[in-house]
A and B are shown apart, each in its own frame.
Chain A
Amino acid sequence: MEIQSPQFKHKARKAIADEQLQRAMGKAKIGFVGKRKKAVDALPEFDELRSSARAIKDHTLEHLDLYLEAYERKVIASGGRVHWAETAQDARQAVLDICRAAGARTVTKGKSMITEEIALNDFLEKEGVRPVETDLGEYIIQLRGEHPSHIIGPALHLNKEQVEEDFRRVHTELPPARDLSQPESLLGEARHILRPQYFQADVGITGANFLIAETGTSIIVTNEGNGDLTQTLPRIHIVVASIEKVVPTLEDASQILRVLARSATGQDMSVYTTFSTGPRRPDDPDGPDEYHVILLDNGRSSMLGTEFHEMLRCIRCGACMNHCPVYHAVGGHAYGWVYPGPMGSVLTPSLVGVDKAGHLPNASTFCGRCESVCPMQIPLPRMMRHWREREFERGLNPATQRFGLGFWAFFARRPKLYRLATSMAIPTLSGLAGRARWFRSLPFAGGWTRHRDLPAPESRTFMQQWRDREVGKQERGAA
């Protein structure tokens, strides 16, 4: 999709004023957090499992080339094909070539963030292949011409009344007087409409939560069953997966599965965990005749061994955004690309460049909740700080900010001057505030005081107070 991250500030401001969005986000921030906590509290070993899951990914990333080669060998041995893609364009083309060779007119799709990353739907449509999203959330946003606002709940930004409106607008073959006031009826209608599509489609496309080097298996983890119908009924199954999805063995996948669903939706296990290995076998009564895997890099290999290396452990559970106060306030669309929230603020600059996505790592209070709930223990705030440093080094932030930081740095590097300046400024500010103890407005600080009051400082600096304290101690000691 088109990168709109440079408009983050504008989009965030609009999002905060959007009543529908704020209503939807109000529900979102309560639901996920409570469900995760309940599931985590019910498993005493959860934190140990996080460390174990992290160790598996760390080990895999150190040997990523070898595990990918082993994985490829097993896919081929089981009758599947592997297509390596360096860029989004390569991956899109590989999918299209498979569709063309099969004479495919319609493809069904399971929920997949990687196909959002490579903007597959727009591309296929332009080339005359009709993509049909089958996950309920993805289906809704496809009808609206929108992109996901959350990596596991694509339609999180919507209220049920909006969904009803869309269904009435699009499903015109159904009786206009039908009752769609309950979420159950909306789900039932989507099921009814999508059922025949699975049987008609020529190709089914899914993502992958894991690839297993030991067996050449791809795994999808879902709740609805749409991903399974998508990959079982058409003649061809295409898996689109990025290179960091590989883990060594079935046991390793099992270990990470124990933290994935709990962190994402608060389930112990998602409803369907499906292990796919190659195409239909001689005595199989169902399943696809062809099984293809598109292995996509799209910038990930450049993260390996850098300060953003640990981001490659991410298993896309969404816990970081579910616990992020900034995400709660502005929703996913403000981030302007595929991956929102803290994980997006680290990943988006890595994949599309900090020149375009520089606002994102700045959209954080550094409260640290994202890191504390991350099942893979990814130090998200630290990596956002790295992006801020890079942004500054490359001179990408605005002149006033650079000037302000430069001004502060001049004094910070000269402690005597700094102390002198603060010992003059602090009492002045304190005096100016008077008995109110708060500033409602202050020259050069309008960016702050427009939205909140600035607390006035104490009348003496920290260093002065410290000195007095130490002197007091000595005097007491002498006495």
Chain B
Amino acid sequence: MSAREAILSKLRGAASVSANDDARRETVEKRLAKTPRGLIPARGQVEGEERIALFCQMAETVTATVERVKKTDDVPKAVTHYLRSKNLAPSVRMGEDKRLKRMDWASQKSLEVKRGRAEPEDEVGVSHAFAGVAETGTLALPSGRENPTTVNFVPDHHIIVVDAKDIAGDLETVISRLRRKFGRGDMPRLLNLITGPSRSGDIEQTMLLGAHGPRALHLIVVDG
């Protein structure tokens, strides 16, 4: 008997498992097909400006910095400002995201924009989020050439652009949107949920920012 069969037959033989196999199968299939939602806390269940304000507040609580801009065209300028304020070289790494590509990066004269996966020498990564979650100040970023995973983790500074209209109240809403985009039962290779910059509490439980991932997380919320 293979290890697989041995384990499964032990599980089937356990006292807590009922003998009615058809009924069990039906229960499981139904649950996987219906994907029922559990309890959603009231905190994130707010609309419009209130929701965006909650998102910004929760993100700042976890020591992300947040800035709001009126329209997409304001993003390149905001990125340049951020680099200057942190005394960083004018160079950013980003993927092939269409929303990022449509922005007028050439307007920022000395700014170098490198496309593709992040390399060890990259100091700043720019990504476009798929969605935000107001309940916890979280960003959702699927992998792919639009926004490579390495951009989220390799550079010291991570700038995430998110459209205000994509900020949901709760994670369950984002999950439903993922299903619409990628298909039921399917996921992108990777989905990163990011809540603040990296940190560690492993030395005397003092939470310190900048462990192995980015030391700083800057969010640009685009209203228009």
Interfacial residues, chain A to chain B (CB-CB below 8 A) = 24, 27-28, 31-32, 43-45, 48-49, 52, 56, 59, 61-70, 74, 78, 84-86, 90, 134-137, 140, 153-156, 158-160, 163, 183-184, 186-188, 191, 194-196, 199, 213-217, 223-226, 228-229, 232-233, 243, 248-252, 254-255, 257-258, 265, 267-281, 283-287, 295, 297, 301-302, 304-306, 309
Q: Contacts A135-B202, A155-B203, A277-B188 known; A65 to B213 CB distance under 8 Å?
A: no
Q: A276 contacts B210, CB within 8 Å?
A: no
Residues from chain A with Cβ under 8 Å of B203 in the complex: 136, 140, 155, 158, 160, 163, 183, 186-187
Measured between C-beta atoms, what is the minimum distance from A74 to chain B in Å?
Answer: 7
Q: A272 contacts B194, CB within 8 Å?
A: yes
Q: How large is the interface on B (under 10, 10 to 19, 20 to 34, 35 or more residues)?
A: 35 or more
Residues from chain A with Cβ under 8 Å of B224 in the complex: none
Q: A183 contacts B206, CB within 8 Å?
A: yes
B198 and chain A: residue at smallest CB distance: A225
Q: Mark B103-118, 1 if CB is under 8 A from A, else 0.
A: 0000000000000111
Bound complex: CA of A32 vs CA of B36, how far in Å?
33
Q: B41 contacts A45, CB within 8 Å?
A: yes
Interfacial residues, chain B to chain A (CB-CB below 8 A) = 2-4, 6-8, 10-12, 14-18, 24-25, 27-28, 31-32, 35-39, 41-43, 58, 62, 95, 116-118, 120, 135-138, 143-145, 148-150, 152-154, 171-172, 175, 178, 185-206, 208, 210-214
Bound complex: CA of A268 vs CA of B59, how far in Å?
11
Q: A136-B203, A283-B145, A287-B189 are in contact. List 5 more A-B contacts (CB 8 A).
A: A48-B39, A154-B202, A223-B198, A248-B31, A304-B17
B17 interface neighbour in A137, A187, A305, Cβ under 8 Å? A305
Bound complex: CA of A114 vs CA of B214, how far in Å?
27
**For the complex of A and B, 8 pairs with smallest distance between CB atoms:** A225-B213, A305-B15, A224-B211, A137-B202, A305-B16, A255-B38, A304-B14, A305-B14
B193 interface neighbour in A67, A195, A269, A283, Cβ under 8 Å? A269
Q: Contacts A249-B35, A301-B11 known; A275 to B16 CB distance under 8 Å?
A: no
Residues from chain B with Cβ under 8 Å of A273 in the complex: 138, 192-193, 195
Bound complex: CA of A396 vs CA of B58, how far in Å?
53
Q: B28 contacts A225, CB within 8 Å?
A: no
Q: Contacts A27-B204, A65-B12 known; A134 to B39 CB distance under 8 Å?
A: no
15 sample A-B contacts, Cβ–Cβ < 8 Å, listed by A number:
A62-B24, A65-B11, A84-B7, A155-B202, A183-B206, A183-B208, A224-B200, A224-B213, A225-B214, A226-B212, A254-B172, A283-B144, A284-B189, A287-B143, A309-B16
Bound complex: CA of A326 vs CA of B143, how far in Å?
45
A287 and chain B: residue at smallest CB distance: B189
A74 and chain B: residue at smallest CB distance: B185
Q: A258 contacts B28, CB within 8 Å?
A: no
A226 interface neighbour in B10, B43, B95, B211, Cβ under 8 Å? B211
Residues from chain B with Cβ under 8 Å of A186 in the complex: 203
A223 and chain B: residue at smallest CB distance: B199
Residues from chain A with Cβ under 8 Å of B196 in the complex: 271
Q: B204 contacts A160, CB within 8 Å?
A: yes
